[in-house]
Amino acid sequence: MICPSCGHENPQGNKFCGECAAPLAPIPTAQGEERKVVTVLFCDLVGFTASSDQADPEDVRARIRPYHTRLRREIEAYGGTVEKFIGDAVMAVFGAPVAHEDDAERAVRAGLRILEAISDLNEEGADLDLQVRVGIETGEAVVALGARPEQGEGIVTGDVVNTASRLQGAAPPSCGPPTRRTDPCGRHWNPLGSPRGHCRGHRDAPGRDPRPAVVRCR
């Protein structure tokens, strides 16, 4: 193993260079990729940036920490993986690294449960007054095999991520998550087996092909 600091050749297995004592970093291995269908969920707090603009950083952290914790719990309960937290926004993936035959439904269930969880948080803390927007999209993506999201490594790349983000931005606050479907919006869509899973009309995702309909679950 070649020391990156002094160039001295060291026996395999050494953690430190025998010449200069510098730590020997492991040689990175190439990360594999594959194409697969995944479902991406975006959730974002409404008005959080404006309300936090002049707030004390510790107050901001105290407000957002239970939100992050609760979202991770609800997403993972339905088999999703939190890829990243970006301030008050969260991106989660269903179908990678672990896939289920009903990942799209799991994402919708998680989105609806998040809305209920936010309501619960507001009841627990009267000063929170949180509102969120949720958007969900299913599509093909490039999946990084062996990615470590806990270390900031991305899991999926593709247009499905951009569309889910746009859907989230177009969603009304604290309403059922909008998702896209390719058939005309006229028939009931009930993935949850309850009235709140039916089609509530459609709108176009901003910047997207207007033909696929967007439905809102509630």
* Per-residue pLDDT tens digits for 128-165: 678 899 999 999 999 998 888 777 778 999 999 999 99
Distance CA 10, CA 25 (A): 12
Residue 182's pLDDT band (cuts 50, 70, 90): very low
Q: Does the pLDDT of residue 169 top 70, yes or no?
A: yes
Q: Above 90 in pLDDT, residue 36? A: yes
* Residue with the larger pLDDT of the pair 49 and 160: 160
pLDDT at position 218 over 70: no
Q: CA 167, CA 204: separation in Å to the nearest integer?
A: 9
94 vs 64: which has the higher pLDDT: 94
Cα 168 vs. chain centroid, distance in angstroms? 11
Report pLDDT for 11: 84
Q: In this structure, what token pair is assigned to residue 101?
A: 């035959």
User: Lowest-pLDDT range, 82-86, 101-105, 129-133, 188-192?
Assistant: 188-192
The amino acid present at 75, given as its one-letter code, is I
Helix residue ranges per DSSP H, the chain: 48-52, 57-77, 103-124, 159-170
**What is the Rg, in whole angstroms, of the alpha carbon atoms belonging to the chain?**
21
Mean confidence (pLDDT) of the chain: 76
- pLDDT tier for residue 51 given thresholds of 50, 70 and 90: low
pLDDT in tens, 93-127: 999 988 999 999 999 999 999 999 988 887 886 66
Q: What is the pLDDT of residue 104?
A: 93
pLDDT given at position 177: 66
- Of 201 and 153, which is predicted with more confidence? 153
Q: Considering the entire predicted model, what is its pTM?
A: 0.69
Looking at residues 213-217, what average pLDDT do you find?
Answer: 49
Crossing angle for the helix pair 103-124 and 57-77, to the nearest 10 degrees:
140
**pLDDT level of residue 190 (50, 70, 90 thresholds):** very low
